[in-house]
Amino acid sequence: MKEKKISNVILVMCILILGILLIIWADKITNIFSILLGILAIIYGIITFINYFKTKDKTFGNMLSFIYGIIILVMGFILVFRVDFLKELISFVVGIYIVLSSLFKLHEILVLQKDSNIKLTSSIVITIILVFLGILCICGKFLIPDIIIRFIGIILVIYSVMFILNMILLKHK
């Protein structure tokens, strides 16, 4: 149980640092990351093509690998030439993560409240706010693309601080 708390604290601290970096250098980080990820996908797609054409006896698995290579190659070009796609994808993925982890935390709080007969209203309110922030992040693709990443950075910082605050509140109870 203690190792889980330590890993949660480390994960939340990494999320906090990522949030701060996204607030400060949002455009640079996403542009560089998108281009690097796109280049890696393009290289992987090309390697998949080369392996497909080197194989003499083509099987159904080889054909699936070839199709997979095409999809990865297209995704690589999208990431290199359309950097905003990554911003929208990051917003969606981070929002899903925040909503799911907050819902799990809400479940834990409700079970703890039921088992211990202690009111944990502040923790419940904080967790519901986290769910709302995650939903805002999922819907973030409707915001101006340049603001999305800074918005995500702010949400990640708020999420991290509230998560740590929630852990402190639960520890005292």
- Over residues 54-77, the pLDDT tens digits come to 887 777 777 888 888 899 999 999
Q: What is the CA radius of gyration of the chain?
A: 21
Domain around 92: 2-172
Question: Which tokens in the block code for residue 28?
Answer: 């640079």
**Could you tell me the pLDDT band of residue 24, with boundaries at 50, 70 and 90?**
confident
| pLDDT exceeds 70 at position 148 | no
Average pLDDT over residues 95-122: 87
| 107 SS3 class | helix
Q: State the average pLDDT for the chain.
A: 83
Count, in order, helices (H) and strands (E) of the chain: 5, 0
Predicted confidence at residue 140, as pLDDT, reads 66
Number of domains in the chain: 1
Distance between CA 105 and CA 126 in Å, rounded?
10
The 3-state secondary structure of 26-38 reads HHHHHHHHHHHHH
